[in-house]
Structure 1
Amino acid sequence: MTQGERVNAVRKAREMTMEQFGERIGIQKSAVSKIEKDKVNLSDQTAKSICREFNVNESWLRTGAGGPDNMFIPEDMRYLNAVGKLGNEQNEFKKFCINMLMDLPDKYWDYIYEEFKKFEKKEE
């Protein structure tokens, strides 16, 4: 499978048109078409955008490593990546919150969950 075919597989798996896919990663529909047809090479920036926006395994996208079952990053790895990114934040409050949550006893999680649900309801 070529790199263009792998990009096409991601787009199809997400059930998106070329236009929708391009909008999400910041390129035109025509550029998506050229990439999928292997008329142009996938730039580093576009590859990183695809991986970030659609939780695609970058190694698979670039090389096909692991085959089609390796297309997407598993949910548990996405969580670990997100926590890792927060740990590298310059915002000290975000770091403080993450560290507090990680050390929180289990008995408090239901309470926090209910409090966060209140915020969700207010936004609706």
Structure 2
Amino acid sequence: MTQGERVKELRKTLSLTLEKFGQRIGVGKSTISDIENGRRSLSEHMTKSICREFSVDYMWLTTGEGEMFVESDDDFFERIDRIMAGENETRKNMFKSLLYASDEDIEALARIIELFSNAKKD
């Protein structure tokens, strides 16, 4: 199944028209139609928008592997709590906050970690 076919399957599962689906991610119905019919590729930005807006699993949308929808934030929080049993709350909350971080936030954090790492080497 192609990415376009997965977009169509998702849209149908959500019972959305081309227009309503496109509105939710900021594109027109013709763009969605072109993606579904293989006349246009799904951009990385649009892929992330779909995943964010509809709680779709990135791997499913891009490769077809896994389940269509991701778990809720509560499920992720519970999993973090189980994995980090015995850790302090501050450490757990640092990981939980990354669920809400934007791409720009993650890039900024990566730069800070790199700066810190380089400073320790000197």
The TM-score, its normalising length taken from structure 1, stands at 0.61
Contact 1:55–1:78 (CA under 8 A) maintained in structure 2: no
Deviations 1:23-54 (A, max 9, x none): 00011100000000111100011100000000
In structure 2, distance between residues paired with 1:7 and 1:87: 24
After superposing on structure 2, the runs of 4+ consecutive aligned residues of structure 1 that deviate more than 2 Å are: 77-81, 83-89
Give the structure 1 partner of residue 70 of structure 2: 73
Contact 1:48–1:58 (CA under 8 A) maintained in structure 2: yes
Cα distance change on mapping 1:24 and 1:86 into 2, 3 Å: same
Match status 1:7 vs 2:20? no
Contact 1:55–1:73 (CA under 8 A) maintained in structure 2: yes
Cα drift, residue 10 of structure 1 = 1.0
Cα drift, residue 86 of structure 1 = 6.8
Give the structure 2 partner of residue 113 of structure 1: none
Cα drift, residue 9 of structure 1 = 1.1
State the identity as a percent.
47
Let me know the Cα RMSD of the aligned residues. Answer: 2.7
Name structure 1 gaps, 5 residues minimum: 90-124
Cα distance change on mapping 1:37 and 1:79 into 2, 3 Å: farther
Quick one: which amino acid aligns to residue 40 of structure 1?
A: R
2:35 is paired with a residue whose SS is: helix
Give the structure 1 partner of residue 21 of structure 2: 21
Cα distance change on mapping 1:50 and 1:80 into 2, 3 Å: farther
